[in-house]
Amino acid sequence: MKKQSTIFTFFILLLFTANGQFNYNVANSSLSLSNYTDIGSNGTAITTNFQGGVMTYRNANSSIQNIGFNFIYNGKVFTQFVLSANGFIKLGRVAPAIGNSNPFNSDTNIICPVTFSMIQNAAPEYRVYTNGVAGSRVCTIQFKGIRDSSTFQQNQFFSLEFQIKLYETSNDIEFVYGNFLPTTLKSSTSVYNVGIKGSDLISFVNYKGNSTADWSASKFLDSIFNISSGKYLSNNNYPINGLTIKFKAFTAPNKDAKVYTVYHTPKIVINNPHIVSACIKNTGNTTLNNLPITLTVNGANTFTDVQTIASLPAGANTVVYFKAYTPLIAGVNTIKVYVPTDDVNSNNQMNKTETVGAVFSNVNDASVFYSGVKTSLGSDNGILIENTGSKAINQITAYSTSASGEKFLASIYSAFNNTPETLIWASDTLICTSKQTLVSVPNIAVTDNFFIVFTQPATSSYFTGFEFEFPLRNNVFFERSPNSTGTWRLQKGGASNNNYNKYLTDVQFADVLPLTLLDFNTQLKGNNCFISCKLGSAETISSIVLERSMAGSNDWKTIDSRAIIQQNSLLTYAYTDENIPQGKYFYRLKLIEKTGAFSYSSTKVVDVTNNPLFVLYQNYPNPAVTSTTIGYELDNAANVSIELFNQEGKLVTTWKRGTQSKGKFAFQVNVSSLPSGTYHYKLVATNEKNGSTISLIKQMQIAK
């Protein structure tokens, strides 16, 4: 297994720059009651499908329509729009995707009073009408005679109608709801998106509610977190006639930095370094230079750090990473991220709380989260857990909205370069019991960052729980499909990936790892495996057990067990597992204390299939100053090279040794030009007879 040294660094990552300034926000949005006035036969009927043919009742876009004046939106001037039969318009001349029922996720410059998966009626009507005098004209886009679909639920309405109003000069927007005629069928609630969006989901105002809140009693949000719980609509919960939602345009201030999101972990682990980061947006009209961003931690622990954004253009946003802080005292921390006083001080800071203890949890609200999406091939969803030093995992929590009885699996993977790498432990098939299913873990030891992975089998309808997060924090959440065989894909949102899923889990650590495990190694020669390790604090140990399982079976068998008689503080253990059948195997050590408590080591993977019988020895001297010698042994002729990686997993150099015959070799390398630090070197030897390649990894220290 590759070993990754955990290094906490701080830097600033530019995510994206908005295309102009989005001139709407929550503070300038409002609700009121007015008269709904049907435009009758005024204006122009919208009948032509943008893709050709007649405008149908569903999954269709209109031809390009004229607003009748210049309308400024998202920093641009628009004179036209395209209407979607699914209940919204897109400003400009480019049509949204046909059948797009959630344009907020994948489109830009969207104005949406209600969006349906599809709508239907015998005679739907769409019309645009611009009236008034120049400078104060109003463009009304009317949806009339439409009906909600019965695809996902029983029809809730016989008919519904609503309007979008665009105002010249002020650039205000209104949604005016007309007559919603409910059916008498059983009430069935669905979620519909209501709001406006510019270039991205930071330029977004969402009208939010819940399953019981009246439409006139809801609120506005400027985030994605509730995009799938925007407005609940059913035949006993719908907008009354004349309900008007107004988005008032404003002139952006000259200088305004906004703390948009603080990335934190609600429950963090004592004595474990933790990084807080924050998304900062320039919501002013001028570029901000040398902008200080401050983090303070108060409560059980205290910490302060200041990072500086060199330049942040108007409309742009960036993520700031603070230095790691290590909580030393259990309790509650209050973290605050803030920017200096500017033209708008109401958005200058954001506070969060973190509980310090033996549990890691990234769940903001255990009662409110969303289900995943089932794939026919099944999927793996991974969550990176920050960790430094030896710890033992004894329980994890799986979050889901699946019905009880659905099958899933939980597993732990090592992390290399912040990507899931080697399987450390896997559960048997589990049964979902509720929104929170507790999974017992047999004190699996971890020493660096690792991944918790939840698997949805192809034959199960298990949905991994997640919360929405935008912008999604980077290098933390991964998925792959098909499970176990697909390629891991980073969940990062943005133009190429519209998934903003923050997968959820809790990880509970044992209070104390009972001993320190040093240099646990496996070395394969033919079908014999040499296992060795050193144990610190050995005076507390009563016995040591070596276990092996076939890869993926989780059926661990004891292959060696011995009582510990020697009572010194350092113990060396060695065992040879001989004549192993062909296949891939896991090895682990079970370390039993005199009290009966026990813990497991990390898991080593050994592949006996077509093993080319190569051995990589430790370098000497280690630490090295100017040079060191790397030893290796070949039992077959091979083409050999040695690759050196730094602690971030980046390839530093390759020493090519060429084709070498069977035998032992010692290779001296010059490291005088390399900075001090921890490195990993890898023997890559390709067997010339069968073409197999083996990669063996050791750790090198360089000290100046």
User: How many other C-beta atoms can be found within 10 angstroms of the C-beta atom of residue 597?
Assistant: 15
Separation of first and last alpha carbons in the chain: 28
**Residue 500 confidence (pLDDT):** 77
Is residue 381 within 8 A of residue 372, CB to CB? The reply is yes
Residue the block writes with tokens 């700031």: 320
Q: What is the pLDDT of residue 6?
A: 32
- Confidence at residue 474, expressed as pLDDT on a 0 to 100 scale: 85
Pairing of strands 267-269, 349-357: parallel
pLDDT at 619: 79
What are the backbone angles phi and psi of residue 658, rounded to the nearest 5°?
75, -165
Distance, in Å, from the CA atom of 306 to the CA atom of 323, rounded to the nearest integer, reads 9
Peptide linkage before 482 cis (omega within 30 of 0): yes
Distance CA 401, CA 369 (A): 8
Q: Which domains does the chain have, with CATH numbers?
A: 26-247 (no CATH), 253-357 (2.60.40.10), 360-509 (2.60.120), 516-607 (2.60.40.2060), 614-702 (2.60.40.2550)
Q: What is the DSSP string of 661-686?
A: -SEEEEEEEE-TTSPSEEEEEEEEEE
- The residue type of 350 is M
Residue stretches of the chain with pLDDT short of 50 = 1-19, 151-152, 226-229, 495-496, 512-514, 690-696
Distance, in Å, from the CA atom of 372 to the CA atom of 368, rounded to the nearest integer, reads: 13
Q: Which one-letter DSSP state was computed for residue 314?
A: T
The pLDDT of residue 199: 85
Q: How far apart are CA 495 and CA 200, in angstroms?
A: 9
253-267 confidence digits (pLDDT tens): 999 999 999 999 999
Which structure tokens are listed for 328? 């030393």
pTM higher than 0.85 for the full model? Answer: no
Q: What is the largest CA-CA distance in the chain?
A: 98
Place of tokens 């039992």: 635
HEC readout, 149-218: CCCCCCCCEEEEEEEEEEECCCCCEEEEECCCEECCCCCCCEEECCEEECCCCCCEEEEECCCCCCHHHC
Contacts of 451 (CB under 8 A, 6+ apart): 382, 383, 384, 385, 412, 413, 414, 415, 420, 478
